[in-house]
A = this chain, B = another copy of it.
Amino acid sequence: MLLIYVFNHKKMTELERYIKSYFGIVQPNDMKTIISLFKPSTIKKGEYFLKSEHFCDKLSFIQSGLLRMFVVTDGKEVTQWISTKGYFVTDLASIIFDLPSRWTIQALTDTELFTIQKDDYKKIGKLIPQWHELEKLFIARCFIILEDRIFMHLSMTAEERYQFFFEQNKDLFNQVPLQYLASMLGMTPETFSRIRRKT
């Protein structure tokens, strides 16, 4: 029991560290409040974190492992993003605006999460007045990343997108099936493979 406590404590610290780095300085008491709302859980390789069309009623922090976010269209899976340690995962449209989820999110490996339920998530804003502002800045940061990603699709070839992504995410290349990276970069596995050989 003590072991588990120590174990959890250490992991919680990590969540805290990420919250600090994403949201900036938060009062120690507020941090305690926020952290206490996140509950640890695990999800096994292949299991679903969220299925499309369902309502997403949670937001999770990835402590370890990998989640893949994708959509099925015309019988094909289109991978939108792969989230690793340190990411927050949810369908924003679903948790904020109560819309059915657009994505399916599935574990690529056994994954440790800290999860906050929607009700508790909505409480944070009431408990911590500063919260909405911090979250606004966080979402703005995400928005800017997507703007850049769109720009990449407007102005770069498949090979340039590969190079750019590879520079920033070398580690992912030996952790996930490459076909998923191909998809999220907007090319086929064959094209991805040929580019990879060249470079």
Residues in chain B near residue A186, CB distance under 8 A: 153-154
A47 contacts the other chain (CB 8 A): no
Picked from B76, B92, B136, B141, the residue with its CB within 8 Å of the CB of A144 is: B92
Picked from B78, B132, B136, the residue with its CB within 8 Å of the CB of A151 is: B78
User: Are A140 and B78 in contact (CB-based, < 8 A)?
Assistant: no
Known: A136-B132, A136-B135, A142-B143. A150 touches B149 (CB 8 A): yes
Count of A residues near B, CB < 8 Å?
36
Picked from B78, B139, B147, B184, the residue with its CB within 8 Å of the CB of A80 is: B147
Which residue numbers of A lie inside 8 Å of B, CB to CB?
Answer: 71, 73, 76, 78-80, 92-93, 96-97, 102, 125, 129, 132-133, 135-137, 139-144, 146-151, 153-155, 183-184, 186
Nearest B residue (CB) for A94: B144
Residues in chain B near residue A154, CB distance under 8 A: 78-80, 183-184, 186
